[in-house]
Structure 1
Amino acid sequence: MNKLLVSLGLSLLPFTVQAVSHNPDVKRSPLQTQDLSVSFNQHQNGYYKGDLIWEDWVTLAWDGTKNRAQIYQDKAQQTNPFLRVNYPKDGVGPLHSGAQFLVHLPPADEYWLTYKVRFNGRFDFNLGGKLPGFASGEGKYANGVIPTDGKGWTARLMWIREGELVPYLYYVDMPKENRWGHFWSTSNFIKPDTWQVITQHVRLNTAGQRNGLYQVWVDGRPLVDKRDMLWRYGNYGQIDSFIFGTYHGGANPEWAPRWNSTADFDDFSISRQMPAYLRNAPVLQQASQPLSNKPNPVPALMATRRALPNVARPPRPIAVSNKPMVQMPLARPIKLTTYVKPTQQQRFIRPLPKVVKPQPFNINFPRR
């Protein structure tokens, strides 16, 4: 299969926010005294947004679900209610795909996040998309905003081509060439139509030391074990947010699902302690380390155009730009923006000596 590099920088969009009226006072969080658990069992079928989210997550900061998240119960199979997220055909980024909301957490140096996810049927993974995780600085250190000041970071997961599950990190010591997030191959693939349990563990480094932890388990099996993380400088950057964010891409239309897709989420737990189901799990034997080659040779991110019917010639390279997108603060509303396709290739005439008849040639302009 012919493969083309796609700039991850062009594939990212700022978080989309919709203000809610509730005061996100972290003193109200159950995490002050106990774990925070959300299972959706007490809800009836319907859209999951605004006040309904606030009932489960009492320190909700903002809601960007945009009627693409709903409580769902499969009565034919007598299942308990769960959260179903819709990823519409051709929808890219948080404005048009998936759902988001952000929850404030009592600042701490260590948290565990566990939840169940099921990607349904013919879910179109296409080039990739995001999954929930933790953040410091209310999630503003993402989307190309590298935390050079050492006061914040983000730690999420994402899927890439064929459903490979990979880390997706921003932190003060991230490799310079990974401007749009640090990620690497794990060779672990999502199983459609199957509930899978994902656990992420973040423990911040002590001041001046590279001893922070980032660990991930899938169904009790270790996926990532990094024990040398420099998340921050000094005592800044405590964990202060949970980001429920899942969507395709990405800004480039080629990240969009080619058909309507859905994924289900359930049984969220945020804790300061290791979850009970992992206490007897196998010890992490070997760290899953980032690939060292430059640029990062993640095979799944060598994006391809959609399959061409019986055409032998390779697809035309995609012209991309390294110019970063305008960043917006995470916790403030932004206006709806529409992706505008670049103009088609233009033709110019190259001046040649009079004795030679001029010949036309093409110039590929970069996307802006």
Structure 2
Amino acid sequence: MDLLPCAASVPIAAEDFEDASSTAAALMTHHPNLSVIKENGQHVLQSNYVGDAHGSERNYANIPLKDGYEELSLSFDVKFEKDFPFVRGGKMHGFVPDRSVTGGQALTPEGWSARIMWGAEGVPLTYTYHQDQPGKYGEIGTALSDAAFPTDEWFAVTLHTRLNTEDGTPGFTRLYLNGTPVREQTGLTFRSVFSPESLISRFVIVTFHGGNDPSWAPKNADGSYRTVQSWFDNIAIYDQPCRRMGPVVP
């Protein structure tokens, strides 16, 4: 778990939202709840979480990578608004193959997903669909610390994921908060076939509260649904193990 800092590596893909003509930024802002705004002189991706009967509206972007990979590290900076209502939990970014499995879908031999979640009170979680999961829905990893995602300040997140390989080596996914390991899943069989379609080929933003019922939703004191926000910046993907030690955004 003692990985080198990502600052020592060159990413295979990166987005800081400073180039208005960026294809990746355009894909990320296709959803109406995702937009680029300016904060303290820098452009960042704003996510509006619109509370509804399912938790909050599903904010989604699917970014294809230039190749397929067995191992990648995803790092980005994030800030939740002050006193962000984490409620019962919600989803964030992660990795998938060409045809992912999420949302309680039936597993396929080449289908899986590895994503980040927040839990109640901002507990950082890994959330993975894999061939040996015990139920219909994805599995949450093991805690490595009692850390929680802060609000009203920028922090760095890294998700390091390695698929199981044809020689029998199991896969894993591990989550870091400001360079400190906070959650992991090991011994994973992400895929039961080793086709190109089973490789990590896409970075996804799938961020929302839920779950899938009103108990997950952000609400006002009178019980009406509420819209809350988070911001993301300096998204980078590396084809080697690394961890971001702190936010690039001041």
TM-score range, shorter chain: 0.7 to 0.9
Among candidates 155, 161, 164, match of residue 202 of structure 1: 161
Answer whether contact 1:208 1:233 (CA < 8 A) is retained.
no
Instruction: Name the residue aligned to 1:314.
Output: none
Written as runs of structure 1 = structure 2, the 5 A alignment for 1:196-345 is 196-207=155-166, 209-236=168-195, 237-258=198-219, 259-275=226-242, 277=244
Instruction: Name the residue aligned to 1:154.
Output: 113
Answer whether contact 1:209 1:230 (CA < 8 A) is retained.
no
Q: Distance in 2 between matches of 1:251 and 1:202?
A: 26
Instruction: Name the residue aligned to 1:315.
Output: none
Letter in 1 for 2:137: W
Q: 2:60 matched to 1:100?
A: yes
Query: Per the alignment, in what secondary structure is the counterpart of residue 85 of structure 2?
Result: coil
Answer whether contact 1:136 1:238 (CA < 8 A) is retained.
yes
Answer whether contact 2:80 2:153 (CA < 8 A) is retained.
yes
Cα deviation digits, residues 212-261 of structure 1 (max 9, x gap): 12121110001234442211114131111111110111321121111321
Q: Distance in 1 between matches of 2:29 and 2:45?
A: 15
Structure number with higher relative contact order (C-alpha < 8 Å, ≥ 6 residues apart): 2
Letter in 2 for 1:102: N
Q: Please state how far the C-alpha of 1:271 moved relative to its aligned partner.
A: 1.6
Instruction: Name the residue aligned to 1:39.
Output: 16
- Cα distance, 1:73–1:137 mapped onto 2, change above 3 Å: same
Among candidates 172, 181, 200, match of residue 138 of structure 2: 181
Q: Please state how far the C-alpha of 1:185 moved relative to its aligned partner.
A: 5.8
- How many residues align structurally? 225
Over the aligned positions, Cα root-mean-square deviation in angstroms equals 2.5
Among candidates 17, 33, 36, match of residue 68 of structure 1: 33
Cα deviation digits, residues 158-211 of structure 1 (max 9, x gap): 112111111111011212xx3211014634311001211111111111226242
Instruction: Name the residue aligned to 2:94.
Output: 133
Q: Distance in 2 between matches of 1:138 and 1:120?
A: 33
Q: Distance in 2 between matches of 1:273 and 1:184?
A: 22
Query: Per the alignment, in what secondary structure is the counterpart of residue 214 of structure 1?
Result: strand
Q: Distance in 1 between matches of 2:105 and 2:51?
A: 29
Q: 2:14 matched to 1:55?
A: no
Q: 4+ runs of 1 displaced by more than 4 Å?
A: none
Answer whether contact 1:86 1:98 (CA < 8 A) is retained.
no
**Unaligned regions of 5+ residues in structure 1, if any?**
1-32, 44-51, 279-368
Q: Distance in 2 between matches of 1:138 and 1:64?
A: 20
- Cα distance, 1:138–1:64 mapped onto 2, change above 3 Å: farther
Q: Please state how far the C-alpha of 1:41 moved relative to its aligned partner.
A: 2.0
Q: Which has the larger radius of gyration?
A: 1
TM-score by length of structure 1 reads: 0.56
- Cα distance, 1:171–1:162 mapped onto 2, change above 3 Å: same
Query: Per the alignment, in what secondary structure is the counterpart of residue 144 of structure 1?
Result: coil
Moved more, 265-274 or 208-217: 208-217
- Cα distance, 1:83–1:183 mapped onto 2, change above 3 Å: same
Cα deviation digits, residues 275-316 of structure 1 (max 9, x gap): 4756xxxxxxxxxxxxxxxxxxxxxxxxxxxxxxxxxxxxxx
Q: 2:157 matched to 1:165?
A: no
